[in-house]
Amino acid sequence: MTNNTDAVAAGEIGTRSHDNVVLIFDYDGTIHDSLGIYAPALRRVYAWLVSNGYAPMRNLMDSQIAGWLGWSTKDMWNSFMPDLSDDLKKRCAEEVGRNMYWEISNGGARMYPGARQTLVSLKDAGYKLVFLSNCDHGYMEAHNEAFKLDEIFSGFYCTGDYDYEPKPKVFEYIERDFGLRACAPGDAAGIEYVAIGDRFHDIELATTRGLKSIGCLYGFGDADELAPATAKVNSIKEIPAVLASWGW
């Protein structure tokens, strides 16, 4: 597990009680720098497709591969290679997953600098942290084992457990488990939710459900897709200061 020594200043976290604030974190591109395990896994599977006549030979650039990060496997393969049969898409997705699990088990997964320290500081300050990713259950569990995420997060949700329903739909289960969202900013009777992530899926969650959002510009999305975010950060270490600026 990656150890980070970057400190989050205590003064960057607001003084208001955080008991009614739930931070919904995307994972890949927000906490985990996933290109390092995803790119080699996808290239191996694509090479197999080429050698078996299912795809033309071409170089998959990191910039192109990064564009698929944050997508569900179902949506990714439907967009990347729409002409493959559904069975073959499923096989390819599973093989990419197996390759990624191998990378994780061999120490290839890396959090962004300061990620764990920031998350621990937020938890210690009283925020509830929720994991929400467009991944399958096995991938989530592999990272939990590698990084002991259950020491930090109060809830785990992956769209793979819900037939890859979009994040706004899966939010219904989060709200069921953690409480109804506040009807208005500062409503003490409800829960204040914040969607945090690097892709349009995360901002869509916020805009669809009326939540505040933090767009992570250091991840794999671009500035345009994160434009509607309530706030934007260039490092995960900036998130406590954003929350403090909201009085949280």
How do the domains of the chain map onto residue ranges? 10-33+111-245, 35-105
Q: How far is CA 208 from CA 4, 44, 49, 212, 224, in A?
A: 35, 37, 38, 11, 17
pLDDT digits (tens, 9 = 90+) for 128-165: 999 999 999 999 999 999 999 999 999 999 999 999 99
pLDDT digits (tens, 9 = 90+) for 63-72: 999 988 888 8
The strand order across the sheet containing 155-158 reads 155-158, 128-133, 21-25, 192-197, 212-216, 231-233
Task: Going residue by residue through the chain, which has 248 residues, state the pLDDT in tens, using 9 for 90 and above.
Answer: 333 333 333 345 554 568 899 999 999 999 999 999 999 999 999 999 999 999 999 999 999 999 888 888 889 999 999 999 999 999 999 999 899 999 999 999 999 999 999 999 999 999 999 999 999 999 999 999 999 999 999 999 999 999 999 999 999 999 999 998 876 555 556 899 999 999 999 999 999 999 999 999 999 999 999 999 999 999 999 999 999 999 88
Q: What CA–CA distance (Å, rounded) separates 185 from 190?
A: 9
State which CATH number among 3.30.70.1450, 3.30.70.580, 3.50.50.60, 3.40.50.1000 fits the domain covering 10-33+111-245.
3.40.50.1000
**Cβ contacts of residue 119 below 8 Å, gap of 6+?**
25, 31, 129, 152
Q: Is the pTM of this model over 0.85?
A: no
